[in-house]
Amino acid sequence: MAQLFFKYGAMNSGKTIEILKVAHNYEEQNKPVVLMTSGIDTRDGVGVVSSRIGLKREAIPIFEDTDVFEVIQKMDHKPYCVLIDEAQFLKKKHVIEFTRIVDELNIPVMAFGLKNDFRNELFEGSKYLLLYADKIEEMKTICWFCHKKAMMNLHYIDGKPVYEGDQVQIGGNEAYYPVCRKHYFHPLMITEGE
């Protein structure tokens, strides 16, 4: 029976590598998958799933008005799995559409993303994935400053922590550190090139 999975983690926890690995494993067995990602993340172009270690792959971009259920339902060949990257940026309606893909089309959906933003608030997509997913898994990484588990994302500009601003601010290692709770509230000095 198909299920909706949500795999979340702080920045640098390997979410994108995992999604690319899952896609590869299915396709190596001649089981086609559909890879999708938020249309908001344009760091490497619209509709590109890209990892920090240099692996990347084309994907179907999801915009605010995209009906992901309809996209999958209209495909000529039923995929074995639907894989979603940057799921935190999606809307509640997209998450409901994922549940329909699972429940009505009997296709597993695996969504990967951040749980909380740099202000330590839930993203809309993550909130509804936490509510509707059949299985939830945390992908772990360690704090940039110590050996503890990173569970928050510290945003910084010019070496200074930033705790306010628009929720969606696209960036990678140049703008965010994965941190534990202690170092989220009391970060060590961040210097250029660190």
> Is residue 61, in this structure, part of any structural domain at all?
yes
Strand (E) or helix (H) holding 38: strand 33-38
> Is residue 77, in this structure, part of any structural domain at all?
yes
Give Dmax over CA atoms of the chain in angstroms.
Answer: 54
> Is residue 115, in this structure, part of any structural domain at all?
yes
Looking at residue 133, what DSSP letter applies? -
- What pLDDT is stored for residue 194 in this prediction? 42
* CA gap 152, 5 in Å, rounded: 21
> Is residue 160, in this structure, part of any structural domain at all?
no
- What pLDDT is stored for residue 168 in this prediction? 61
> Is residue 150, in this structure, part of any structural domain at all?
no
**CATH number, position 133:** 3.40.50.300
> Is residue 148, in this structure, part of any structural domain at all?
no
- What pLDDT is stored for residue 162 in this prediction? 83
Catalytic residues: 86
29 carries a ligand binding annotation: no
For residue 112, give the nearest of 61, 181, 36, 41 by alpha carbon.
Answer: 36
* CA gap 83, 126 in Å, rounded: 15
If phi over 0 gives left and psi between -120 and 50 gives alpha, with beta otherwise, what is residue 159?
left
For 84, the token pair is 């979603």
54 carries a ligand binding annotation: no
Q: How many CA atoms lie within 13 A of 143 on its CB side?
A: 17
- What pLDDT is stored for residue 46 in this prediction? 74
Question: Which runs of E-coded beta strand occur in 56-159?
Answer: 56-58, 60-62, 81-85, 109-113, 135-138, 152-157
> Is residue 147, in this structure, part of any structural domain at all?
no
Provide the domain limits for residue 91.
2-139
- What pLDDT is stored for residue 12 in this prediction? 85
> Is residue 113, in this structure, part of any structural domain at all?
yes
- Which residue blocks in the chain are alpha helix, DSSP H? 15-28, 68-73, 92-105, 124-132, 181-185
- What pLDDT is stored for residue 193 in this prediction? 43
Count the domains in the chain. 1
Task: Please give the model's pTM, rounded to 2 decimal places.
Answer: 0.87
143 carries a ligand binding annotation: yes
Each residue's pLDDT expressed in tens, for the chain with a length of 194 residues: 899 999 999 988 888 889 999 999 999 999 999 999 988 876 767 777 777 777 778 899 999 999 999 999 999 999 999 999 999 999 999 999 999 999 999 999 999 999 998 899 999 999 999 999 999 999 999 999 999 999 999 988 877 888 877 666 555 556 788 999 999 998 876 544 44
User: What is the distance, to the nearest Å, from the Cα of residue 117 to the centroid of all Cα atoms in its chain?
Assistant: 12
Distances (CA, A) of 117 to 20, 61, 69: 23, 21, 27
User: CB of 105 within 8 A of CB of 82?
Assistant: no
